[in-house]
Amino acid sequence: MRVSPDLDFIRYMKSAGGDTLKKCYQCATCSVMCPLATDDNPFPRKEMVWAQWGLKDKLVTDANVLLCHHCGDCTAYCPRGAKPGDVMGAIRAYLYTNHGFPSGLAKMVADPSKIAMTIALPALIVAAMWFISGGMHLPTAEYMADHGFGSFFGHWDWPWLSKNVLFIDAIFLPSFFLAVYSCYRGGSNLWKGMEKNYNVSPDFRPSAKQLAVEFFWPAIKETMAHTRFLECNENKDRARGHKPLMWAFIGLAIVTAYSAFKQDVIGIWIPSMHGPLSLYDPFKILANVSAIAMVIGIGILWGNRAASEEANGGKPTYFDWFLIYEIMAVAVTGISSELCRLIGIPALAYFMYYLHLVSVLMLFLYMPYTKFAHLVFRTVAMAFERYRDSGMVKK
């Protein structure tokens, strides 16, 4: 076998947390200790070899890289201090950038030296739309108490669609569909690459219904239950952080859908439906509980990450901390803007709301290129795992 190492890939891994890679001498302790590896499908020993050889093309289409949940068991028991979990994390970071579309945006988000540009892009988009809307004015405390942020982008009397919603849609819908398309394109390329990597015959591809019912739905249910996180030993507490975070996003998605339907569908015929939700409205309670759950969840993950780095001597990585800061910014700015509105400080409330829109846009726009992409790519890998082990695949 002729090996052509990708030296740029190796350099990237070293910068993204895989700097201990060369300490590995293939004792296989990592594969033995991993609670998620099986006799038929052991990892991460093979991935460590491929990484040492710089076999980028093999690793970016390797399902095991995504099946790893970075629980830390392999790192804790490695006799050489090679930190296989950190190496696998660095490979995943590269995988998301490699499959990202458009590639220029993916590379910008992955590059720590471009953090200013990464923040400035959504900040300028929101500021430009705010300026174009003509809504750059401060309301009185009384007006804000009655209308909330419903006139942040201005107001008009057209009943079919409020001006505020029009501009919010103009900002977030394109970023949402770009993220969806990027995830679809990246997931499709990953699936095709895994078929090639595992010698799966294309003649045995499942139908769309089989793919959804037999492979993807069980993977989604397993993710919701955090089954594999609970199998880990060294870092089992991560499930305590991921679960409230997951339910927080689900809760906020429900509230957003309800608020949009209430104000911009029912509100066409019943104008009193416009304005902020009452603090005693069940959906408002759900929103506040979800926001608190988001802070608690990301706070637990923040603490776990910091403690893990200190205990294992690991160095902070941009890939790991970017999403933690980003989600914390979404939660803190959202809660702060609401509190400032309730106590009647319009200037500070509008400033915090602007920062909230920027942080939410970052979350939407950069989702396929950050650690948030676990939701998509790990689900694809888990579905492929079931497909690979099914009767549809030639053994």
Give this prediction's pTM. 0.89
Q: For residue 350, what pLDDT band results from cuts at 50, 70 and 90?
A: very high
Residue of 155 and 360 predicted with greater confidence: 360
Neighbours of 81 (CB within 10 A): 11
Cβ–Cβ under 8 Å, residues 373 and 322 = no
Q: Does position 2 have pLDDT exceeding 70, yes or no?
A: no
What's the confidence (pLDDT) of residue 306? Answer: 86
At residue 75, what is the residue type?
Answer: T
The gap between the terminal CA atoms of the chain, to the nearest Å, is 23
What's the confidence (pLDDT) of residue 80? Answer: 87
What's the confidence (pLDDT) of residue 305? Answer: 83
Listing DSSP states for 2-33 in one string gives: -----HHHHHHHHHTT-TTGGG-----HHHHH
Cβ–Cβ under 8 Å, residues 130 and 136 = yes
What's the confidence (pLDDT) of residue 343? Answer: 93
| CA–CA separation, 88 and 63 (whole Å) | 11
Listing DSSP states for 202-254 in one string gives: GGGPPPHHHIIIIIIHHHHHHHHHTHHHHH-STTTTHHHHHHHHHHHHHHHHH
Tens-place pLDDT, residues 292-322 = 999 999 999 898 888 877 776 667 788 889 9
Listing DSSP states for 115-149 in one string gives: HHHHHHHHHHHHHHHHHHHT---PPPHHHHHHHTT
Average pLDDT of the chain, as a whole number: 88
| CA–CA separation, 302 and 317 (whole Å) | 13
Q: What percent of the chain has pLDDT over 90?
A: 48
Residue of 324 and 240 predicted with greater confidence: 324
- The residue among 169, 124, 122, 129 whose CA lies nearest residue 362 is 122
| CA–CA separation, 215 and 186 (whole Å) | 18
Tens-place pLDDT, residues 153-201 = 998 888 788 888 889 999 999 999 999 999 999 999 999 999 888 888 7
DSSP state of 113: G
Average pLDDT of 106-133?
A: 95
Cβ–Cβ under 8 Å, residues 55 and 91 = no
Alpha carbon 229 to its chain's center? 17
Residue 162's SS3 state is coil
Residue of 286 and 160 predicted with greater confidence: 286
Residue of 329 and 16 predicted with greater confidence: 329
Q: Does position 395 have pLDDT exceeding 60, yes or no?
A: no
What's the confidence (pLDDT) of residue 107? Answer: 93
| CA–CA separation, 64 and 197 (whole Å) | 11
**Which range, of 18-27, 225-234, 252-261, averages the lowest pLDDT?**
225-234
**Is the Cα dihedral 33, 77, 235, 385 positive or negative?**
negative
